[in-house]
Amino acid sequence: MSDRLISIGEAVHASIPGTGEVMKQLAGRGPGAYSEPSEPLNCIKSLIESQQADGADYIAVNLDAFGEKDPQLAVDMMVEYVRLVRKWSGGVPVCVDSSDDNVLKAGLREWYNTDRNVAQPLVNSVKTYTMANILPLKKQYDFAFVGLLVSEDKPDGAGGSHSVDELYSLAKEIFAAAVDKYGFKPPEIFFDSTVYPLAIDMPMEPGVPGYTHRAFETIKGIKSDPEMKGVHCSLGVSNCFRDLPARKVGVCRAYIEKAMEYGLDAAIVNTAHKYGTVPADPELVKMVDAFAKMNGSAEKMNEAMMLMGQFCQQSRNA
């Protein structure tokens, strides 16, 4: 594959069961937990260093699972984990990943709380209704950001979801504010049109396009817009294989390969799998392509459902 995928390592994420347990053990060690040698700290060190060795462009940290009951805990932990990334990443910048603006701000501040020269970090994510809280920080800190294409307004698209036009409009709104008002350059903007699991991407009403179709067509619209030339499109692609019985890495590889045809150039991934460089199984690409083309017609939906059924049956037989 000719175009290189910007790789955002996903391993330091509290929602991953094993990693979350290690993080819990580490936090439970009390004062000195993030500086005194221990097995949990060694595990986090290994996660950071292995992603750097795998060629990650960013190392994401997400601690939202700890903030569900105590938001301040996630803020405090993000400060500690940003320090660990800065210490052990070999210069790879952090991606501060949270749905809580206070966590994003704390992580961004801590990344620059050093006398060392550090690379520009990534902040994930900003929405149209939160950008006024985060984007003005550009005056104090140099950062790129992910614009998540979701809205507080009720979707007007078929089936009660955002249409491609609505998603594209959200991207235009974020882009205009970021560039014209806050001084971001287009390459510092990543758009995320969100990933929906293929296993349940089945519209319940006639004439409703699938989620994968909308995500991919939104990417195509953004990347073909001359006014937004230079922006990136990113997806948290691991969600695509949720609930599938087998071949999850293969499906993810196929999903990325197909999405890159639409303009995807960045992704939150398991860096060990070298996505975007190893060719995917053509049969799996064909299945993903069927979902990408599921535009609301009965014929397209039946094709996608048939291929998914065949995949699940073959997986069970295997």
Does 238 fall in a domain?
yes
Residue 286 has what pLDDT? 98
Residue with tokens 């094993």: 18
Residue 203 has what pLDDT? 87
Residue 1 has what pLDDT? 41
H/E stretch holding 109 reads helix 101-111
Number of domains in the chain: 1
Q: List, for residues 223-273, the tens digit of each pLDDT value.
A: 999 999 999 999 999 999 999 999 999 999 999 999 999 999 999 999 999
Nearest CA to 96 out of 88, 105, 87 is that of: 105
Does 18 fall in a domain?
yes
Flag residues of the chain having pLDDT under 50.
1-2
Cα 133 from chain centroid?
Answer: 20
Does 95 fall in a domain?
yes
Residue 153 has what pLDDT? 76
CB 40 within 8 A of CB 29: yes
Cis before 46? omega within 30: no
Residue 53, CB-side half-sphere exposure with 13 Å CA sphere = 8
Residue 206 has what pLDDT? 86
Does 88 fall in a domain?
yes
Nearest CA to 254 out of 290, 285, 277 is that of: 285
Does 64 fall in a domain?
yes
Does 198 fall in a domain?
yes
Burial of residue 258, with CB atoms counted within 10 A of its CB: 0-12 exposed, 13-18 middle, 19 or more buried: buried
Taking the alpha carbons of 27, 92, 227, 166 in that order, is the dihedral positive or negative? negative
Domain with 64 in it: 6-317
Residue 171 has what pLDDT? 98
Residue 154 has what pLDDT? 64
Taking the alpha carbons of 174, 175, 176, 182 in that order, is the dihedral positive or negative? positive
Residues 6+ apart with CB under 8 A from 192: 124, 125, 146, 147, 148, 149, 233, 234, 235, 236
CATH number of domain containing 228: 3.20.20.20
Does 1 fall in a domain?
no
Residue 204 has what pLDDT? 80
Nearest CA to 171 out of 151, 144, 147 is that of: 147
Does 233 fall in a domain?
yes
